[in-house]
């Protein structure tokens, strides 16, 4: 029978400390949709600004953007494989049904992870609406008609070979898994 070595700090405490230390390296919980915001009105027949800022150390190198409507089942696929270096797109609306219950989702359609979503905003046909802002340096995508889940993305950017996870994030995840496996095996030995 093995006699456990005396320890000042238990192995579970060490594991907890290591996990607390590594978690911030894996995911930074910062992603803000800066446009549209609540009360903003996008207008049909114009380019409307979609803008965001996100954490740098979150390990997300690319993502997908959808526009959804709360009162109607359906989705408009805006952009696929958006590189994390981008922070805005212009969305030109063409004959999109008016309503005040639209929102934008930033996600990974491959695994279904939802990273962020905007507040609800309105779409109108109003010629009297304040001109929406746009970003002259950002690409423009066109969304036409009602939400249609069988439509393709309005724009697709080139995919990365690692599926959107940076090498640093993969390395950090590997370290965490190794530490967890070592800690678990250490706990099993003491049983």
Please state the pTM of the whole predicted model. Answer: 0.66
Over the stretch 64-113, which tens digit does the pLDDT of each residue have? 999 999 888 778 899 999 998 899 999 999 999 999 999 999 998 778 88
Contact between 129 and 48 under an 8 Å Cβ cutoff? The reply is no
13 phi and psi angles, rounded to 5 deg: -65, -40
Query: Can you tell me the mean pLDDT for 107-124?
Result: 88
Q: What is the pLDDT of residues 125-170, one digit of tens each?
A: 976 666 667 777 888 999 998 887 778 788 778 765 554 444 444 4
DSSP 142-170: EEESS--TTSPPSEEPPPPTTTTB-HHHH
Q: How confident is the model at residue 171 (pLDDT cuts 50, 70, 90)?
A: very low
What topology does CATH give the domain 28-164? Immunoglobulin-like (2.60.40)
Boundaries of every domain in the chain: 28-164
């Amino acid at each position: 029978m093995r006699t456990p070595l005396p320890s000042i700090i238990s192995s579970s405490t060490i594991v907890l400390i290591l996990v607390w230390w590594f978690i911030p390296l894996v995911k930074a919980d910062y992603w803000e949709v800066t446009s549209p915001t609540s009360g903003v009105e996008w207008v049909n027949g114009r380019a409307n600004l979609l803008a965001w800022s996100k954490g740098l150390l979150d390990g997300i190198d690319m993502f997908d953007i959808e526009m959804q409507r709360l009162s109607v089942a359906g989705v408009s696929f805006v952009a696929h494989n958006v590189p994390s270096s981008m922070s805005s797109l212009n969305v030109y609306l063409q004959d999109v049904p008016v309503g005040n219950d639209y929102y934008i989702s930033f996600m990974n359609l491959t695994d279904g992870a939802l990273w962020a979503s905007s507040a609800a905003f309105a779409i109108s046909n109003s010629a009297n609406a304040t001109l929406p802002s746009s970003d002259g340096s950002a690409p423009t995508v066109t969304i036409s008609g009602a939400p249609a889940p069988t439509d393709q993305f309005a724009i697709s950017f080139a995919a990365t070979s690692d599926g959107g996870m940076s090498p640093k994030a993969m390395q950090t995840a590997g370290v965490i898994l190794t530490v967890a496996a070592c800690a678990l095996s250490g706990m099993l030995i003491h049983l």
